[in-house]
Structures are given as structure tokens and as C-alpha cells.
Amino acid sequence: TKDDRISVMLLDLQKMPSAHINKLKQITKAIDAFKEAGKQVIATGYYYTQAQYYIAAHANEVSMHPYGGVSIEGYGMFPLYFKDALEKLKVTQHIFRVGTYKSAVEPFIRNDMSDAAKEANSVWLTALWNEYKTDVAASRPFDESNFDEDMDVYLAKMQAVDGNSGQYALNNQWVDSLKTSQQIRQQLIELVGAEETGKTFKQVSFREYLSLVKPPVEFDNPITEKVAVVVAKGTIVDGERKAGEIGGDSTAALLRKARLDDKVKAVVLRIDSGGGSMFASEVIRAEVLALKAAGKPVIASMSSVAASGGYWIASAANEIWAAPSTITGSIGVFGTFMTFENTMAELGIYSDGVATTDLAGFSIARPLDEKMSDIIQMSVENAYKRFLNVVAEARNMTPEQVDKIAQGRVWIATQAKELGLVDKLGDKQDAIKAAAELAKLNHYDVKTIKQSLTPQEQMLQDIFGTAAVKSFFAKSDSSQSVLATQANLQSLINQLSSEIDNLKDYNDPQGVYARCLVCNVIQ
């Protein structure tokens, strides 16, 4: 925005995967600031997915290949359900849960979504969709009715253009122009000039730009008072985790570091998590309470999702801030594990022996004792009561009041604010300002407290800057994202792989979880 050498921004979004609307808004804010500086933004693509179009809509010109199309389908969630598959494999699934809406375990015990889950999910999906429509319509020359064509109208319009999806998009003002790559290239040559070879326009990719224009070296002024930011992103698991993930012990250590730093006067805990291990969540919450006891106010700043265990750790903060479309709540707990005695028997494999106590024979190769099952269910119910009490104490409510809005139900932040689960709506910067105000700071620095880099990561950062480290080590799903839009089979494989991959995060020492699995669809 402030670099006079840059006059035009070209948005090529073909490799951009899906993302929650909160994260998309952070990008569009920067695009809008670029435009407000008198600079031009052109979006181009062969095809626009829903997330890609949200970004593209903020450009001065939205261009698309003549053979392309715009795919805006709304929000939906269709998890895979494994009940029959598990029965055919003769796997015994043991489920322990509390809460009418705790749908995290439904894929293992049902072949379809329960009515209660459909009711709850419809509410927040509709709220997200309404926000998407409002934001896009505000940036384009049409109103929200453009999104609400029924199939008969859509069919008639497609027939009028002989099935040409590109022409349909142009007629409906989804795009401003239909241009090939060569035409876009020529347009940009006319705008910014040609490079030395004359074959293309003068340009610098954003990765090259970030590596050349390094941000100022972060200087930790030992004199200035600080607002510390600790990021908790991902599934909450027990123990230590690497930088960028949530381990109960490792995240608690970051909060402890802030507490022991005399120059840190307030903390913003930035949460982007659908929960996970209840035990790990409590380890983190205890450190939030310790910060408050030390006289350091804590603001919980919710990103896309802060539900179940994510809400557990947020509840202890002095104030809870969220974006309007943040997914939160899901106050409920469950326990789950599988035993394979029948599967093994089909293969002629059995487990037998002796033990000094009934507990010693506990194994996935043996049936679960009925009394042990009762004990686990009681533990889950006790955990739910604890969850209610934790929230009730923090939010100045009674456990009975919390129970009415809990039951594992997911809420969007605007609703959560009305229910008393969220204090204020705003982004991360708003939360930082609020933390400084609570600490009565007039002049302060913002310090991000994070785990130390490995020697390899540190070397890359020293040479290329932070962006290069993230690029080098990030798991790139862009190729899969493109395939998923083109092949339903690949999409199904990816979904199945993701569901199975979730199982690795179940490492709570007591097997009790506060996790919102439906939240995964909108992150």
C-alpha cells in the first residue's frame, strides 16, 4: 500500500484453498486499503470457487477466462458416517457423551445426521451464508438477490446462453470481463509497462516481494511495557507440540513465560481451535487464571473457531472477543474408543490370560466390561458438570443457565454475544487495544510469545525472512484443492482421509474430549 513502486495488484487465486470468512476478511481489508491508496486491483482466473470469489469481488475488475465459471454454492456440511462400516468390520465402538447437540460422535454411531444436529448446524450455516452474501454484494454491482436464484431461473439463464457458464457469469455481473491469459497480460503491459524482454509485464510475486522487502527486525525493548500475544491454533492435545500447534504443556509454557516477564502487563490469547483434550484444555486454562492472579489481564480473541475445548480455555479470560462469524460454544464433552475383539475373532485371533485386578485386563483386544463402561460414562458426565461450572463461574451465570445454552450446541458469535458467552465483537487488533486499556497502558509494544524455532527454521528465517519459513514447512494442499473441485472421487478420498487423520489427536489421558468436529468444515 505504501510502496510507490507498486501501482497495480494482480490477484491470481487459482491455488488458493478454501478458508473461513474471518480469514478471508483479513485479506480483503488489505485489498481495500490498497485501493483506497489510489491503486488498482485486478482479479483474474480460469475459475472461481466460493472462497476465491469472496477475495476477487473486492478487486476493481474481476476478469475470468471465457471458458471459465463461478461456483458459489452456499455453505453446507455433509460428514461421512461409519456405523454400518464399523458393524461390517465387527468393530465395537464405545461412545460416552453428554449433551443433546454433541454431534462429534455421531459419525461413529449413526448413518445420518440427527435432527438435533441438523437444527443447530442450519442456524450457524445460514448466518455464515448471510454474511458472505452481504459482504460480496457490498463490493459488486448487484444486490443479495443475485445469490438467491432458484434452479428454474438458473436453468433458463443457462439455456439463454447455450450453457456457456462464462457468459452467464458476465450477464449476472459476477465478473466484469471475459479475457484470456494473453489479453490480461497485454492489459497489464499497458498499465505498468513491459519487462526487458517485452514478453510480459513488469512484476514481482508476493513471495519475492516479501523476501526482498524484509520487515523490521523485531526489537524487544527491555524498557517498554508490553501486551503479549499467545496464539493457540489447531486441535488441543495433551503434552508438548511443535510451534504452530496446541499442546497442553507447550501452550501453558508460553502463557507462563508471559506471566514471568515483568514487562508484560497484559495478554491476548488468540484462539483458533475446535477443542480436543479436556485435560490439556484445563492445563492451559490454569495458566490463564495464574496470569489474572498475577494482576495481568487476559483477553481471549477468537479467530474462525473457538469451540468446545477452545471455549474452555477462553472462558477464564477477563473478556472474550470474537469476530461476528466466529464459531463458538459446543459446550459438551465425550469419550470414545474402539475395541476389536470381534474383528480379531473373524481372523482367528483371541486375547486371553490372567490378571491381579479387573482393570489389568483392559485392552482394545478385549470386550469392555459393563461396569467399566458405567464408570467411564460417569466420568464424562462429571466432566460435563465441570465444564458447566467453569463457564458459569467465569461468565457470572448459574450452571443451570449455562446448561440451557450448552448441550454441545454450536453458536455463531453474534448469537453467542446475545447469550452471554462472548463479551464484544472485534478482531485481533481490537482485542490488543482492549488488553492495553485493561492494563491502563498508554504506550506499549506488542510482543508475540512463541516457541523457539529449530536450527533449520532459524537459518531459513535469517536468510529469507518469516514468509519463507512458513512457505517451506507448510503442508501445501493447493494441488489437492484444485483436484477436489474437479473430481468428486478425490474429494471423497480427501474427506475420508481427514476423518481418519482426526483419530491421531485423541490422546487425552482419561479419554475425555471437549471437541467440535463440525467446526472443521468452515476453517
Locate 284 and state its grid cell. 492451559
Q: Please, where are the H alpha helices in 144-247?
A: 151-160, 165-171, 181-192, 206-212
Contact in structure between 266 and 435 (CB atoms under 8 Å): yes
Q: So which residues are the catalytic ones?
A: 102, 308
Cell of 439: 492494563
- Of the CA atoms within 13 Å of residue 13, those in its CB half-sphere come to 31
Whether 239 and 249 have beta carbons less than 8 Å apart is answered as yes
Read off the C-alpha cell for 362: 483392559
Residues contacting residue 489 through CB under 8 Å, at least 6 positions apart: none
Contact between 91 and 342 (Cβ < 8 Å): yes
Q: Is there a contact between 268 and 480 (Cβ–Cβ < 8 Å)? A: no
The helix (H) or strand (E) run that includes residue 399 is: helix 399-405
Q: What is the 8-class DSSP label of residue 20?
A: -
**Residues 278 and 513: beta-carbon distance below 8 Å:** yes
Given a contact cutoff of 8 angstroms between Cβ atoms, the answer to whether 339 and 366 are in contact is yes
What secondary structure does DSSP assign to 143-171, as a single string? -GGGG---HHHHHHHHHHTTT-HHHHHHH
How many of the other CB atoms lie within 10 Å of CB of 32? 14
Three-state DSSP at 485 gives helix
